Homo-oligomer: A and B are copies of this chain.
């Protein structure tokens, strides 16, 4: 995870970076995407370490702190990659501060369980979305994105805690199901806002000489997959989607 200073890598491009990087539109899209994911990771770090305060036990608190540290490690990897491709990592993240903060402000968990559901459902949705987009990228960039999406065992922890809470008090299930739907709605609305505003990301999805395009039908199928995966996650938590 060494980081070359922004801009210093340009001489290395032709030698080390895939041919796709000779297309400035492609580079801009990759920088945008890595910037978005990186900011998402550090913002997940913040959210999880904040939610850790609500943990009912020190053991649960440590579990959330572990999840937060994992997100931060992913952030470091993405930041290093941005440096490697000659971008200023923090400039690349700057435009995504607004949408992520808006999402978190609108979905501030009222208690420990809402925080857990948000971590599980939100991270799952983000991971699905980035994984879909990664399919349009060069293999190095794809690899680093997929690595940053790895589940560090948090899913089992969240599923266990949420299911136990519902078992103890079934009314909790109804409240958390509503919460899960709200999370999905807010996430989609922010994602749409970002997609509409970012020309480079849009251009990426419309393909290139050597890259497939994402047409309207494909976008439709993408949304279907995202929605199905969301429902499957809600079901795993014992919640109706």
Contact = CB atoms under 8 A, between A and B. Distances in A.
Interface of A: 39, 42, 45-46, 49-50, 52-53, 57-59, 61-62, 65-66, 68-69, 72-73, 75-76, 79, 90, 93-94, 97
A90 B55 CA distance: 14
A64 to B, nearest CB: 10
SS class, residues of chain A in contact with chain B: helix
Closest 3 A/B residue pairs (Cβ): A49-B49, A69-B69, A69-B72
Nearest to A62: B42
20 contacts: A39-B58, A42-B58, A42-B62, A45-B49, A46-B49, A46-B53, A46-B65, A50-B50, A57-B90, A58-B90, A58-B93, A59-B90, A62-B75, A62-B79, A65-B75, A66-B72, A66-B76, A68-B68, A68-B69, A69-B73
A73 B62 CA distance: 11
Nearest to A57: B90
Copies of this chain present? 2
Contact of A72 (B65, B79, B94, B97): B65
Contact of A46 (B39, B42, B46, B52): B52
Nearest to A59: B90
A76 B153 CA distance: 15
A158 B93 CA distance: 23
Which of A42, A62, A76: most chain B Cβ within 10 A? A62
